[in-house]
Amino acid sequence: MSNLRYTEEFKIHAINQVTEKKLPVADVVVRLGVSTLASMLG
């Protein structure tokens, strides 16, 4: 497992893409280059 940490701003941006822009989670994950959204939030 990676020790990569994401900033609070990055996390908010990712979540807003899903909740406000209604983009599919899978698309957001690919766009942002994270393996899974869950790992980013952990």
Which residue is listed with tokens 């957001």?
A: 28
Query: What confidence tier does 37 reach under pLDDT thresholds 50, 70, 90?
Result: low
pTM of the entire structure?
A: 0.68
pLDDT at 1 > cutoff 60: no
Output the pLDDT for position 21.
96
The whole-chain average pLDDT of the chain stands at: 83
Output the pLDDT for position 22.
96
Output the pLDDT for position 6.
85
Q: Look up residue 18 and give its two tokens.
A: 């899903």
Output the pLDDT for position 19.
96
Helices (H), the chain: 8-19, 25-32, 37-41
Contacts of 2 (CB under 8 A, 6+ apart): 35, 39
Domain boundaries along the sequence of the chain: 8-41
